Amino acid sequence: MKAKITALIILTITAVTVIAFPHVRAANNQTLPTPIPLAPGSLLTQKPKIEVVFVLDTTGSMSGLIQAAKEKIWSIASSMASAQNSPEIKIGLVAYRDRGDAYVTKVLDLSSDLDSMYAALMDYKADGGGDGPESVNQALYDAIHKISWSQDKQTYRVVFLVGDAPAHMDYQDDVKYPETLAIALQKGIKVNAIQSGHGGGTMAHWKQIASLGSGVYFQVEDSGNAIAISTPYDQQLAVLSSQLDATKMYFGNREEKRKQQSKLAASAKLRESSSPEAQARRVTFNTSKSGKQNFLGEGELVEAITSGSMDLADIEIDQLPAPLQAMKPAEQLAAIEKQDKARKKLKQEIRQLTEERADYLKKEVTKLGDSKDSLDDQIYKAVRSQAAEKGLVYADESPSY
């Protein structure tokens, strides 16, 4: 009997030791507990996001700043993309004038398709206005209420109001900007105000808008005093950008192909109409991690097959690009792999040139002296400070040019 009791005690002690020992070792930092896997879509696995809407006065006096926007929108996107963890970036536009002009507002919703956004921006011409106040109230209202802002609290959502004339506060049926900005704050959207020129009446309104919008106010010259420096690399980068675009192949149903053709048309338009400098800035953005979505769009075949996200055998023949439909499967795959090889080679050349271009620009900006009042620097400082609240970290002291 005594022997049985002794055996039972030994067995009990052994069992307790087996159960407790891993926890004791963990407490002594000898063995760490097995980590709990993160659920897909949890905050720690989500890619950071930026949603930015430019509310742009397009009346006659804004021609210089509109041109600056056309030249610099890609470098502004690249500056935003330079945050750690390569945020996803969507941009929208609200163009505004005044009642009695060709339009009061034009709204282009948030999209990661920056090519299509840029193609629309290229069509903006400075016209109308000339009589003082503009429809700023309507423009801000549309920016807050007619844009498809996300509901994700971790997304950095921001508006940049850009104009040179105060708001029409005498329209009886307008929603005045203090009311709109109160809604913006509830939605977690910051509103910054960029004044073009030196109009005194504008300054008072713009400063109040920035204050009520929990944003910042700053003033730039009518030209935007953006830093737009040509480099010896721009022309070659523009050529390589065009060649990189030519590596894209799309698949999908009729509706998907219609959207893809619209994107391709926007890309062709900017290649034909924008400056080599703007095209160099675009390809710099497109070859960044944040620019991948703009470059590829939806249903890009080369990426889908080479990344393994799609199997060529699972795609219907009539959904493939026309040149591939008459080919045998082995020939189709060979054509896709050829495009992938060309794309990788082009990206390598582009990255080398963009690094050399960045070094050149850094030296040229240093020669110019103080750049802290430039449009580029002011926007970057606002983004860098405000996005930090959402966990976005920008290590660079200066923006991309």
Domain 49-227+371-390 superfamily per CATH? von Willebrand factor, type A domain (3.40.50.410)
What pLDDT score was predicted for residue 228? 81
How many residues are listed for the chain in this entry?
Answer: 401
pTM of the model: 0.85
What pLDDT score was predicted for residue 198? 87
Alpha-carbon distance of 82 to 138, in angstroms, equals 33
Query: CB atoms < 10 A from the CB of 332, how many?
Result: 22
What pLDDT score was predicted for residue 7? 43
Q: What is the mean pLDDT of each run of 10 residues along the chain (401 residues)?
A: 41 38 36 38 66 96 90 93 93 96 96 94 85 92 98 96 95 96 97 91 95 96 82 98 97 96 94 94 96 96 96 96 96 97 98 96 86 85 95 91 89
Sign of the dihedral through C-alpha 139, 145, 146, 149: positive
Backbone angles phi, psi at 160, to 5 degrees: -115, 110
Residue whose tokens read 């949890």: 42
- Residues 6 or more apart whose CB falls under 8 angstroms from that of 214 comprise 185, 190, 191
Q: Using alpha carbons, select from 96, 365, 69 the residue that is nearest to residue 223.
A: 69
Alpha-carbon distance of 50 to 104, in angstroms, equals 27
Asked if residue 119 lies in contact with residue 328, where contact means CB atoms within 8 angstroms, the answer is no
What pLDDT score was predicted for residue 373? 77
What pLDDT score was predicted for residue 149? 98
What pLDDT score was predicted for residue 14? 39
Domains of the chain by residue range: 49-227+371-390, 234-362
Q: Using alpha carbons, select from 356, 355, 308, 299 the residue that is nearest to residue 333.
A: 308
What pLDDT score was predicted for residue 316? 96
Q: Mutual orientation of helices 177-186 and 200-212 as an angle, nearest 10°?
A: 30
- Residues 6 or more apart whose CB falls under 8 angstroms from that of 376 comprise 72, 75, 76, 79, 226, 227, 399, 400, 401
What pLDDT score was predicted for residue 8? 40
What pLDDT score was predicted for residue 193? 98
What pLDDT score was predicted for residue 44? 44
Asked if residue 378 lies in contact with residue 194, where contact means CB atoms within 8 angstroms, the answer is yes
What pLDDT score was predicted for residue 370? 66
Asked if residue 140 lies in contact with residue 55, where contact means CB atoms within 8 angstroms, the answer is yes
With helix as H, strand as E and coil as C, how does the chain read?
CHHHHHHHHHHHHHHHHHHHHHHHHHHCCCCCCCCCCCCCCCCCCCCCEEEEEEEEECCHHHHHHHHHHHHHHHHHHHHHHCCCCCCEEEEEEEEECCCCCCCCEEEEEEECCHHHHHHHHHCCCCCCCCCCCECHHHHHHHHHHCCCCCCCCCCEEEEEEEECCCECCCCCCCCCHHHHHHHHHHCCEEEEEEEECCCHHHHHHHHHHHHHCCCCEEEECCCCCCCCCCCCCHHHHHHHHHHHHCCCCECCCHHHHHHHHHHHHHHHHHHHHCCHHHHHHHHHHHCCCCCHHHHHCCCEHHHHHHCCCCCHHHCCHHHCCHHHHCCCHHHHHHHHHHHHHHHHHHHHHHHHHHHHHHHHHHHHHHHHCCCCCCHHHHHHHHHHHHHHHHCCCCCCCCCCC
